Structure 1
């Protein structure tokens, strides 16, 4: 248990201090490249339906786990410390809390230059950014931060704490798969169903647990914890995802602001509804984004605290 606790804390501290490492053989890049290669091969063989999607899922997730395990065992034959350092580096590479904070801070820095801010937002959201004014950019940034709190922070961290490094690798492999093939379009509606469904499953519980976590963070910051819970219950279903609406609505309540608003994709207005009480402000600015970043930071610290409480249960796992 002490070894696992040290691994979790060490990976978290490395991520907090250094941020996401940038190198060609980053695990997410390797998983993405392997996913694309397997997809191309399966499509060439005519396996572009549900069965092909399941085979693709097994190849990607299984390949990620087997690659990590092979290196771990090989290094362990040299010295156990080498295997542990390998695990630490992989865990650090797959945690991305600092990167999420940094992306929000970059948007905040670019707010006075709207073209640069819109360009920055293109890397964070899947909507048209050209129609966004300053308030729309802030709302979209807060939405991105709140949504990624679940799938980018809570699920990976808690999976590492409770299930060890295999759990973290499983979560990140599935999330990467979903980002590549989990789209309900003509190409991936059937092929990507396994990736999309498994992504919904792994984030189901953390998404709902994010609500009391956000409320606790709002309480610490002396903001609106009760509104966070109320907003999550009332408006979580506004988003098509079964999971992302919980943390986004809770953020809206904790900050007491309206989110969403007009959303354009490929030149078409697909929604103009706002999330939140009509009395809450919707014309947001830099101060609101700073508050969202502060809320995210406190949520991250609380998430680590909860995760460390799960570490003792790691010994009860059969693997």
Structure 2
């Protein structure tokens, strides 16, 4: 078997079996530390504009690539199998399908204990969770599952299939930088512009491909697959992001539930429009979350099959 195909299959399998590792030296944590350190140096020198932000992103991403490749070369000189295992470790560390589903299941497990459910939800979302009722907790969890299906599963997995380790490293670096500096705050409005726009571009196609993927998953599960495309077309613009609305609206259609709506961030309410038909329920339950978890799990499995197909086409 081709070593790169074996790497792809092994990374998906290890992620499915073990989930994303959580420890201080995780590659994404190290990248975050490097990003913060460089950001502070740039700000101390008064470099806070768009050019400085673009330079920050390029240096952090190039540094991540250099760190991986340097270790790869050293291990390859010792034995090719060591270099392959290093690549597997990096690829596995940058996939997070099992971890995403585990977060959703933790919310489901404590859903009858509303304070505990709100606390678990806080690990998934940036919105205020203290005032959410049970239906609001379920809605927010489903929204996070659907959004992160694109950001955390489809984009990195398909980047690995198409471009190998450099592809997934760049993809995760861009996503991580956006989550750190890609905000419209006073500090990051200009500095984070490059990170935010790069993230938008990175996820543009996977976000839209999530719609047929979720439709296929819904069909396999006997859910409302015929409503997926109409819901995605009609409601994707309910969110300000050019990408996240596609998978969330598609999930709303597959489950026939209403998502989004008014939400509070840092004590300020935002009157976001609803995703979904007026007749669809908004007071969601644990059964709705279970259906959403199955939907995302099957979609992630289908995404892995697509990744293998992409790899074979590229190598064909």
Normalising to structure 1: TM-score of the pair? Answer: 0.97
Please tell me whether the aligned partners of residues 128 and 267 of structure 1 are also in contact (alpha carbons under 8 angstroms): yes
Deviation at 1:102, TM superposition (A): 0.1
Q: Deviations over 1:37-89 (max 9, x none)?
A: 00000111111111110110111100000110111111111111111010001
Match of 1:13 in 2: 13
Deviation at 1:297, TM superposition (A): 0.8
Please tell me whether the aligned partners of residues 232 and 246 of structure 1 are also in contact (alpha carbons under 8 angstroms): yes
> In 2, distance between residues paired with 1:314 and 1:46?
45
Match of 2:282 in 1: 282
Match of 1:135 in 2: 135
Q: Deviations over 1:139-197 (max 9, x none)?
A: 00000000000000000000001110100000000001000000011000100111101
Deviation at 1:315, TM superposition (A): 3.7
> In 2, distance between residues paired with 1:206 and 1:274?
23
Match of 2:43 in 1: 43
Does 1:96 find its partner at 2:91?
no
> In 2, distance between residues paired with 1:263 and 1:22?
30
Q: How does 1:21-32 map to 2 (within 5 A)?
A: 21-32=21-32
Please tell me whether the aligned partners of residues 72 and 83 of structure 1 are also in contact (alpha carbons under 8 angstroms): yes
Does 1:75 find its partner at 2:72?
no
Runs of 4+ in 1 over 6 A off after TM superposition: none
Structure 1: where are the runs of 5+ without partners? Answer: none
Counterpart secondary structure, 1:264: strand
> In 1, distance between residues paired with 2:154 and 2:283?
29
Does 1:202 find its partner at 2:176?
no
Deviation at 1:272, TM superposition (A): 5.3
> In 1, distance between residues paired with 2:30 and 2:53?
19
Please tell me whether the aligned partners of residues 163 and 314 of structure 1 are also in contact (alpha carbons under 8 angstroms): no
Match of 1:251 in 2: 251
Counterpart secondary structure, 1:257: coil
Match of 1:64 in 2: 64
> In 2, distance between residues paired with 1:314 and 1:35?
33
> In 1, distance between residues paired with 2:156 and 2:266?
32
> In 1, distance between residues paired with 2:151 and 2:196?
13
Match of 2:2 in 1: 2
Match of 1:309 in 2: 309
Deviation at 1:120, TM superposition (A): 1.2
Please tell me whether the aligned partners of residues 15 and 95 of structure 2 are also in contact (alpha carbons under 8 angstroms): yes
Match of 2:239 in 1: 239
RMSD: 1.1
Normalising to structure 2: TM-score of the pair? Answer: 0.98
> In 1, distance between residues paired with 2:191 and 2:33?
17
Structure 2: where are the runs of 5+ without partners? Answer: none
